[in-house]
Amino acid sequence: MQTDEQQLIARILDGHAEEFGYFLERYGPEAFTLVSRLVPQQQDAEELTQDAFVRAYNRLETFGGRSSFGTWICRIAYTTAVSWLRRKRIKYLSIEDKPYLTDTEVDETLNDESRIDDLHQAIAKLKPDEQMLLQLYYYDNRPVADIAYILDVEAGNIAIRLYRIRRKLYLLMKHEHKR
């Protein structure tokens, strides 16, 4: 498949721009789903997805095949959505200077099925990149290499980030429970 897509990219770059529609049809739903997980308003998510495909088309000659085209467009869609969110200047919780937490304490809270609503509310309060990491890793079961590429981080940092996010979720859930 990837060879066929590389041939299609070569044709598009040779002037057959109308063939780019294949990529929009093939990867549009996946990119939209990714963006809509970060941007709650459907109209904004649709516009940002469209912007991502325009950017991909304009930078098509830079696609080197280091990843699949689907992973590449997801990275562009992700950075487009995160840039948009940064311009909105939303404040997020930081876990700096928080007390030491044991793994057992965190695991018990996060795995408590009676607190699933608290967990979902806590996830909604995470930064977009943290939400996306959870989504790609736990729900989409993406390979760590793909996640690292989409989020533009080193693959070795994925485990560290997941560890920190779990602690942040614990703190958010504890804070919500005190209310």
pLDDT value of residue 50: 95
Q: Does domain 2-88 have CATH number 1.10.1740.10?
A: yes
CA distance 125 to 93: 8
CA distance 76 to 52: 6
Residue that has been written with the tokens 């200077």 in this structure: 97
Distances (CA, A) of 19 to 13, 28, 64, 77, 127: 10, 14, 18, 20, 36
The tokens describing 100, both together, are 């030491």
Within 26-153, strands assigned E span none
Show the CA angle centred on residue 75, arms to residues 123 and 147, nearest 5°.
60
pLDDT value of residue 55: 95
Which 8-state DSSP code applies to residue 125?
Answer: T
Q: 126-172 pLDDT, tens per residue?
A: 888 888 898 888 888 899 999 999 888 898 889 889 888 888 888 88
C-alpha 21, offset from chain centre: 23
CATH number of 103-178: 1.10.10.10
CA distance 150 to 148: 6
φ and ψ at residue 68, rounded to 5 degrees: -75, 160
Within 64-127, residue ranges assigned H as helices are 69-88, 103-110, 116-124
Domains 2-88 and 103-178 share a fold: no
Question: Tens-digit pLDDT profile for the chain (179 aa)?
Answer: 557 888 889 999 999 999 999 999 999 999 999 998 888 788 999 999 999 999 999 999 998 878 889 999 999 999 999 888 888 765 554 545 455 556 666 666 666 777 778 888 888 888 888 888 988 888 888 999 999 998 888 988 898 898 888 888 888 887 666 55
Domain ranges of the chain: 2-88, 103-178
